[in-house]
Amino acid sequence: MSITAPRGTQDILPDRSGDWQNLEKKIREICVLYGFGEVRTPIFESTELFQRGIGETTDVVSKEMYTFADRGGRSMTLRPENTASVVRAFLEHKLYAERKVHKFYYMGPMFRHDRPQAGRYRQFNQFGVEEIGSRDPAVDAEIIAMAFQLFRELGLTDLVLHLNSVGCPACRPVYRQKLLDFFADKHDSLCEDCRARLDKNPLRVLDCKEDGERMITAGVPLITDCLCEECKDHFHKVQSYLTAAGIEFELDPRLVRGLDYYTKTAFEIMYAPLGAQSTICGGGRYDGLIEEVGGPSTPGIGFAVGMERLLLTLREQGLLPPVLKERPVFIVALGDAAKEKAFTLQQSLRGKGIYAEIDMMSRSMKGQMKTADKLAAVFAVIIGDEELAAQCAQVRNMETKEQEAVPFTALVSYIERHKKG
């Protein structure tokens, strides 16, 4: 019986890793442009962090986490998302003592026991940003603009921003009671999960794939009708900044996102050509999260992008740029003595930052030249008994087919000079 990768995981082989590297490079360029620095957190954390940070009534915590006991009996969880981990790092290293806006970005694997499908895996990679320390609505607009610039520079133009406010601790209890009143005579019509979570967090019903849309159609109260004056003002200013930046949006009072820590601004960016599964980015403000996990009252906002789904979208739309591969110098060695010399020259070339290869399969000269062609070599450096006796290699330009003898002592400088030219 052969051993295969676990369901919901994948191997990224060299023929596809170039696409990942190009995407990561573009992400890093945008992050630097907006002043974000990279943070790298552990792949597993204390389970309590996610229970307190994400919310025990969410599907992520109740159904999807990979949780295990370590050898000390402590409950650990492979991170299902990274905002809680970034917040934990922010607190652990006392960054809140620096009274400024902290800008973080991350890329890395997350883990959720979800149903695998196209672009969705149980081990998946996520890019995200977190901006911590300011309640200014301009910050909300800034990170949304950042996401839009990334997607547009990747070639995605048919983008739709869905925007909502999910309130704050001052106004959400009012909305919660309205939801409870609305669901009072509908308890039996809800799915089992929603009935179980109704008393703890009725907003989760709106996020349910089974009940959410049906309840909207049935006339469920909207949170935007319950916002306090502070939340209304914040939401209005976010919209003003987005309009000033030329970013169009649709107000979506149904949008609550799937994690409990969101307050005020919540948003998703849709790419229309994907149809029903069109969300490529989601995020929002979490002004109470840092306090929830034991820190001082500190505001924050962020977003996350599933990188597999983004790459799939770019591939399907023909937007992945060609992966430019470095063209090597291929040293053709005929015989053991020639191969030893070729190995020495190869290392000398690499020492100068020049990509060089030699044959490791004991092929004939014809076979080695075929390999040089397959690798799109710039030069083929041919060494046989005659070349060893003359202390010169035959250097063939693989494009012009011109060939000349070059002394071994001058070979590296010759390649350097002509490769640059």
Structural domains present in the chain: 14-171+227-316 (3.30.930.10), 329-420 (3.40.50.800)
Q: Is 31 helix (H, G, I), strand (E, B) or coil?
A: helix
Give the CA angle between residues 173, 84, 262 to the nearest 5°.
Answer: 30
Are 368 and 358 contacting, i.e. CB atoms less than 8 angstroms apart?
Answer: no
Confidence class for position 212, pLDDT limits 50, 70, 90? low
239: number of CA atoms within 13 Å, CB side? Answer: 15
Q: What is the 3-state secondary structure (H, E, C) of 299-333?
A: CEEEEEEEHHHHHHHHHHCCCCCCCCCCCCEEEEE
273: number of CA atoms within 13 Å, CB side? Answer: 12
Mean local confidence (pLDDT), 66-91? 97
Residue 217 pLDDT exceeds 70: no
Mean local confidence (pLDDT), 296-300? 96
With DSSP H G I counted as helix, E B as strand and the rest as coil, what are the percentages for the chain, rounded to 5? 40, 20, 35
Confidence class for position 216, pLDDT limits 50, 70, 90? low
Q: How far apart are CA 373 and CA 369, in angstroms?
A: 6
Confidence class for position 74, pLDDT limits 50, 70, 90? very high
Residue 170 pLDDT exceeds 60: yes
Mean local confidence (pLDDT), 324-330? 94
Position 145, amino acid: A
DSSP output for 50-116: HHHHH-TTSHIIIII-EEEE-TTS-EEEE-S-SHHHHHHHHHHTTGGGS-S-EEEEEEEEEE-----
Q: Is 382 helix (H, G, I), strand (E, B) or coil?
A: strand
The residues near 24 (Cβ < 8 Å, ≥ 6 apart) are 107
Position 189, amino acid: S
Residue 183 pLDDT exceeds 70: yes
pLDDT of residue 117: 84
pLDDT of residue 196: 77
pLDDT of residue 254: 79
Tokens read off for 45: 């954390």
Confidence class for position 258, pLDDT limits 50, 70, 90? low
pLDDT of residue 187: 77
DSSP output for 329-367: EEEEE-SHHHHHHHHHHHHHHHHTT--EEE-SS---HHH
